[in-house]
A = this chain, B = another copy of it.
Amino acid sequence: MAHRQDQQRRASIHDVASRAGVSAATVSKVMAGVITVKPENAQRVLEAVEQLGYRVDPLASDMRRAKRRIIGAIMPEFESEFFGQMVTQLEGLAEQRGYTLVAASSRESEAREKEILARMHDWRVAGVVLAPVRNEHGPAAEFMKANGMTGVLIDRVLSDDAFDTVSADSAAASAEVARELIAKGHRHILVVGLGEQAATVRARLDGFRTAALKLAPDVRIDVVLAETGVEPLRAQLREYFAKGERPTAVYSLFLKGTLVALSEFRRRGWHCPNDISLVGFDDAEWMQVTWPAIAAVVQPVRQIAGHAMEALFARIEGGEGPAIARLEPCRVLMRESVGSPGVAAGGGQSR
């Protein structure tokens, strides 16, 4: 059993050194795993460490180094499954390399995003994984550039010339959604999104439109894009339907949009898929247990996190070269919320 100096001041490297009868420098070497220490001494150090319950103070240790072994992660929010999983993944990957992840939420505010980045710079983090609120051209990326910070951009980005980027292959996934909807016979489709998320929304919209028009030149694609915020989107959507528009399917480009669409369907008494079909970008656990289950594009969180960290550490360890942009393939899960127009679904809905 290790005896600890409970409640007391924690043992420092000097305590260990004197107990082991060596210098602090030697203890430091043993802790760092340097092999040039006489086995006998190493043994005594290890014993002292055990007896005193000594542990290296990571912050003090980092003081002397150039970069601290801390990775900063900035997400637009923590409340959704996607970003929750992302943080969990990033945390694990950082840990594996002996780094600590410090995560912060920009709460969908670019101003706050920049403040957090400044704080992370103060902390002299080794690198940052930034999921920007809008896109790769925000003030945060600017700040990172201006201050020579090393970082990787993820999610709401396409590519950048200063930083590596990793995101879901929005265009390809959207094209697949288009194929599915067209194949089911949909010829009037509404796409909803948030203009704020510029590049990503563009990619998703273009990917969808291009594929859809190619397969069915006569398809009508309406677009409701709110510039900013979920509530304005709700209002615009309500207005759109109030005009009497009656698409047979809705493709939502982001999770909150899917929720808004569902709640607008509720208001009007429409059921999926009989009255209207629905597919959303971003999957969530609940989508497979509701009736009907909601079709969704599943983003490969693990791959995004993995490749982001890979790229980040490559840069931290001095990797040079032009910024690379990765697109990770998504899976499209066509569930019960999608049907064919004019064909009542069997099973679930009607009783």
**Cβ–Cβ contact B79 & A91, under 8 A:** no
Task: Find out whether the CB atom of A122 lies under 8 angstroms from the CB atom of B58.
Answer: yes
Selecting from A127-135, A193-201, A206-214, A286-294, the interface stretch reads A286-294
Say how many copies of this protein the assembly contains.
Answer: 2
Contact of A103 with B103 in the complex, beta carbons under 8 Å:
yes
Give the residues in chain B near A284, CB-CB below 8 Å: 286
Name A87's closest neighbour in chain B (CB-CB): B78
- Known A-B contacts A118-B55, A263-B288, A289-B266; the reply to A88 vs B107 at CB < 8 A is yes
Q: Cβ of A18: which chain B residues have Cβ within 8 Å of it? A: none
A 86-130 to B, binary, CB cutoff 8 A, 1 in contact else 0: 011001000000001111110100000000001101111000000
Inter-chain contacts of A68 with B (CB < 8 A): 59
Chain B residues near A36 (CB-CB < 8 A): none
Residues of B with C-beta under 8 A to A161: none
Q: Is A277 an interface residue (CB 8 A)?
A: no
User: A78: which B residues are within 8 A, CB to CB?
Assistant: 78, 84-85, 87-88
Contact of A104 among B6, B91, B105, B107 (CB under 8 A): B91
Chain A, 19-37, CB within 8 A of any chain B CB: none
Chain A residues bordering chain B, tally (CB within 8 A): 60
Q: Find the B residue at minimum CB distance from A291.
A: B266
A285 closest partner in B (C-beta): B259
Contacts of A102 in B (CB 8 A): 100, 102
Q: Which of B259, B266, B289 contacts A259 (CB 8 A)?
A: B289
Best-surrounded residue of A84, A85, A100, A262 (most CB of chain B within 10 A): A84
Bound state CA distance, A45 and B4, in angstroms? 45
Cβ-based interface call for A349 (8 A):
yes
CA distance A105 to B87 in the complex (A): 9
Complex CA gap A262/B87 in Å reads: 27
Known: A81-B79, A84-B84, A351-B271. A123 touches B290 (CB 8 A): no
**Residue-wise interface mask of A (48-88) relative to B, using a CB-CB cutoff of 8 A (1 in contact, 0 not):** 00000001111110110000100000000111110111011
Does A159 sit within 8 A of B, measured CB to CB?
A: no
Q: Is A274 an interface residue (CB 8 A)?
A: yes
- Interface, chain A (partner B; CB < 8 A): 4, 6-7, 10, 55-60, 62-63, 68, 77-81, 83-85, 87-88, 91, 100-105, 107, 118-119, 121-124, 146-148, 259, 262-263, 266, 269, 271, 274, 284-291, 347-351
16 other contacts beyond A59-B63, A269-B348, A286-B290, with CB at 8 A cut-off?
A7-B147, A57-B124, A58-B123, A59-B59, A59-B123, A77-B88, A79-B81, A79-B88, A80-B81, A84-B84, A87-B105, A88-B107, A91-B104, A274-B351, A286-B286, A286-B287
7 tightest CB-CB pairs across the interface, nearest first? A79-B84, A78-B84, A262-B289, A7-B148, A263-B289, A290-B290, A286-B286
